[in-house]
Amino acid sequence: GAVVSQHPSWVICKSGTSVKIECRSLDFQATTMFWYRQFPKQSLMLMATSNEGSKATYEQGVEKDKFLINHASLTLSTLTVTSAHPEDSSFYICSASIPGALKEYFGPGTRLTVL
């Protein structure tokens, strides 16, 4: 079946630094990828929809200048958390959908800890 990978799986950084998280569709092309944020024991909160070759669509309340999303190819989307602060510590999950399919494939997630 279709596989989505994320890298890194866990990252620790200092406050004020930027962190980039990669999301790759390994065996299919994804025109659309989604980025979610999840706090412990809570639901997935959609941050943005990433479309290949165009600007991402951010959900209300998500700072687009803080969470930079780039979908440069049909198999790669990146999320950069700029000037990270401890409150940005969370679990970030990406997903990708195959055009015409009714299924969304989720990455394994990235745990971000900001000290």
Partner 1 sequence: AQTVTQSQPEMSVQEAETVTLSCTYDTSESDYYLFWYKQPPSRQMILVIRQEAYKQQNATENRFSVNFQKAAKSFSLKISDSQLGDAAMYFCAYRSAGRGGANSKLTFGKGITLSVRP
Q: Given the rule CB under 8 A, which residues bind partner 1?
A: 31-32, 34, 38, 41-44, 46, 49, 51, 91, 93, 95, 97-104, 106, 108-109
Residue 14 vs 40, nearer CB to partner 1 = 40
- Would you call the peptide bond into 86 cis, given omega within 30 degrees of 0 as the criterion? no
Tell me how far apart the alpha carbons of residues 27 and 84 are, in angstroms, rounded to a whole number: 32
Residue 16 vs 39, nearer CB to partner 1 = 39
Question: How many CB atoms within 10 Å of residue 65?
Answer: 8
CB of 16 to partner 1, least distance (A): 27
